[in-house]
Structure 1
Amino acid sequence: MIENLINNLKGQLTGELQSKFNLEPEKANQSADMAKDSVVNELRQRAGSGDTGGLLDVLKGNKAPADSSATNSIINKYVGDLTTKLGIPQNIANQIAPFAINFIMQKIGGQAGAGNLKDSDLLGGLMGGGLKDKLGGLFK
């Protein structure tokens, strides 16, 4: 569910990266894909370790992305990916990363805040069947 939601935002995020940071279309597209992967990987890791409390607060829009250790971790890893994998200069990557990650988290938070997403929508698909089944009705 989260991946689908982020995929739906990709076009908008790609356009923003092109206009705000003067990225060429291919790099903007790759940057958007990497932002999605960064968010999803961090969410999977945290959901798998049971660290969902603060994460759910951000995903539900109850906590600002900038106030979250999960979001800050995502941003730091994403900066590294932008510089090493796409060759984007560090000073530009330091601007792109917070923008892109906060953009994604705020959009997810907006959907959750509007009541369009439940906890199971936010985390269920990230944890895989085994852990999800073990937790039973927690995500209903």
Structure 2
Amino acid sequence: MFLFVVGHTVLSVNGVPVEGRFLQTDGRDVMEMLAMEENFPLDIKFGRPKLTTNEKIMLASMFHSSLISGLKFLVMADSRQTGVDILLKKLYEIYSDFALKNPFYSLDMPIRCDLFDTNLQQAMEQSERSGLSNV
């Protein structure tokens, strides 16, 4: 039994990255692999698809003007989702711990800290699993 979440895609099968419908190493079709019983058991990793460069540019240009006056955290969520306030508090806590307390970080500069990135990713994954849920 698989749990499919809307907006998620297959990221890898048995540790091999998937691009579109095909494995990156040998080009096999993932759907054909699922149809063949002799391929089981399979380790399938699901997640949100990576943004393309054009999508990143579009999002950056959309929010750039709102970020001129100082630091703001933006969370794009469905209005029916709960726990957004908890996520925002957690994001600020991570920012405080790994950026503001870092003597090498200066305001208005990109945050270049592996611990910040790791904790931010963990907070987002945790909120997807538990905190942000549809009502």
Fold shared by both chains (TM-score > 0.5):
no
The structure whose residues are more often strand, as a share, is 2
Q: Which has the larger radius of gyration?
A: 2
Q: Higher RCO, 1 or 2 (CA under 8 Å, sep at least 6)?
A: 1
TM-score category of the 2 structures, normalised to the smaller one: under 0.3
The structure whose residues are more often helix, as a share, is 1
